[in-house]
Amino acid sequence: MPDSNPSLFPAIAPLRHGMLAVDALHTIYWEEVGNPNGIPVLFLHGGPGAGLSPAHRRFFDPQQYRVILFDQRGAGKSTPVGECRNNTTQLLIEDIERLRAMFSIEQWLVFGGSWGSTLALAYGQAHPERCLGFVLRGIFLCTQPEIDFFLEGSRWFHPDVYDEFVAPIPAEERGDLLQAYVKRIMSDDPAVYWPAARAWSRFEGRRVFLLPQPEEAASDAMDLGVGRLESHYMANLGFFEDEQLLRNVDKIAHLPAVIVQGRYDVICPPVSAWKLHKAWPGSVIKMIPDAGHGAMERGISAALVGATEQFKRLRGFE
C-alpha cells in the first residue's frame, strides 16, 4: 500500500521506551528513536493532552537524529490520564529537564506544534542554554484572544460544529463556554464528564484539517486528556503572564527557528505565527497556502521535514 504521506521518513519503532515517575502523582511515558549518536531533538506533542502518535517519529532522519518523545502529564500513556492536579506549564518544563538529564543530553533541537509550540517557547525561554534551535508549527501563544477565537470564532467558519458544541450547554451558561465546559469536564461523575470531554475533543478534531478527512474514532484516553487538559490550561491562560511568550522572545532570538503555519488554520490562526516571526529576527516562516492546522496535511508535513533536513545540514551532519 502506498504511503499516504510520502514526505515523511519510513515508520520506525523506538530504540527503547519506559516510564518516569516525576512526582508522587504523575508518571510519564517516554521513548527514544533513531541514532543514539545523532543530533538530539525533543518532540513536544500538542493538546495539551493529545499525546504521541507513531507518526510523530517520522519527521526526522533516523540515521542523523536522536529523537526523544514523551507523553506530557495526564496525556497518552502517562498516568493518571486526564489528571489536572500538579499539572502546569512550569511543571512540564521541569519534566523536560528531568528527561534531558536522564538521557545525558547537553543541548537539543526543540520541535513542537500547536500546544507543543507553546511549550517549546516556554521551555526555550526558561532554558535557552539547552536549545540548539526550534522547529515550530501552528503557533499558539495561549493568550485570551486566541482562546476566545478557539471557542467562539468557530461559529464564523464551522457554524454546524459550533451549534453541536453549544447544544448541551443551557442558554444561560453560553456566555462563558469555557467555564461551562470546565464545570462539566472536571465533574467527579462519569455520566457528566465523559459526554463533555468527548464533545470538547470532537469540537476540536472536526476543525483540524482544511479538507475533510475520514473521522477516526478517538480513544477514551485522547478524549479525556484533551478535554480536561485543554480546558484546564485555557482556564489558567497556560499559567503565563499576559503576552509572556512574545515579550520574552529576546531570550531565544539568537537561536535559529523555522515556523510552519497553515494559511487556513482555524484552531491557531496565522496571526500568532506572524507576530512571533516579526518579534524574532532571523526566524523563517513558511506559510502553507493549502493547509489548516494538521501536522499531517501534506504541505505542512513536507515543510516540517524540510526544516529538520535544513537543520541537519546547518549542524554539519550532511
Kindly report the CATH number assigned to the domain that includes residue 138.
Answer: 3.40.50.1820
How much is the pLDDT for 1?
44
Asked if residue 23 belongs to a domain, the reply is yes
Pair (231, 247) in one structural domain: no
Pair (269, 294) in one structural domain: yes
Pair (219, 279) in one structural domain: no
Mark which of 238, 256, 282 sits at the end of a domain: 238
Give the C-alpha separation, 72 to 78, whole Å: 7
**Structure-derived torsion over alpha carbons of residues 314, 45, 101, 35, reported in degrees to the nearest 10:** -50
Pair (226, 289) in one structural domain: no
How much is the pLDDT for 317?
53
How much is the pLDDT for 272?
98
Asked if residue 4 belongs to a domain, the reply is no
Asked if residue 8 belongs to a domain, the reply is no
Average pLDDT per block of 10 residues along the chain, 318 residues long: 78 98 98 98 97 97 98 98 98 98 98 98 98 98 98 96 96 97 97 96 95 74 95 98 97 98 98 98 96 97 97 72
How much is the pLDDT for 197?
96
Please, which residues have CB within 8 angstroms of residue 168's CB and are 6 or more apart in sequence? Answer: 184, 195, 196, 199
Owning domain of residue 176: 144-238
Pair (28, 127) in one structural domain: yes
Pair (36, 108) in one structural domain: yes
Asked if residue 208 belongs to a domain, the reply is yes
How much is the pLDDT for 55?
96
Mark which of 238, 264, 282 sits at the end of a domain: 238
Question: Number of structural domains, the chain?
Answer: 2
Q: Could you identify the residue written with the cell 531565544?
A: 252
Which pLDDT tens digit goes with each residue over 213-247? 776 666 888 999 999 999 999 999 999 999 999 99
**Structure-derived torsion over alpha carbons of residues 40, 36, 80, 166, reported in degrees to the nearest 10:** 50
Give the C-alpha separation, 28 to 74, whole Å: 8
Pair (251, 136) in one structural domain: yes
Pair (200, 246) in one structural domain: no
Pair (44, 184) in one structural domain: no
**Which residues are tagged catalytic?**
114, 265, 293
Pair (253, 233) in one structural domain: no
Asked if residue 63 belongs to a domain, the reply is yes
How much is the pLDDT for 220?
86
Asked if residue 190 belongs to a domain, the reply is yes
How much is the pLDDT for 27?
98
Pair (231, 268) in one structural domain: no
Mark which of 238, 263, 291 sits at the end of a domain: 238
pTM above 0.85, yes or no: yes
- By three-state DSSP, how is residue 206 classified? coil
Pair (188, 286) in one structural domain: no
- By three-state DSSP, how is residue 198 classified? helix
Asked if residue 290 belongs to a domain, the reply is yes
How much is the pLDDT for 318?
54
How much is the pLDDT for 316?
59
Give the C-alpha separation, 262 to 260, whole Å: 7
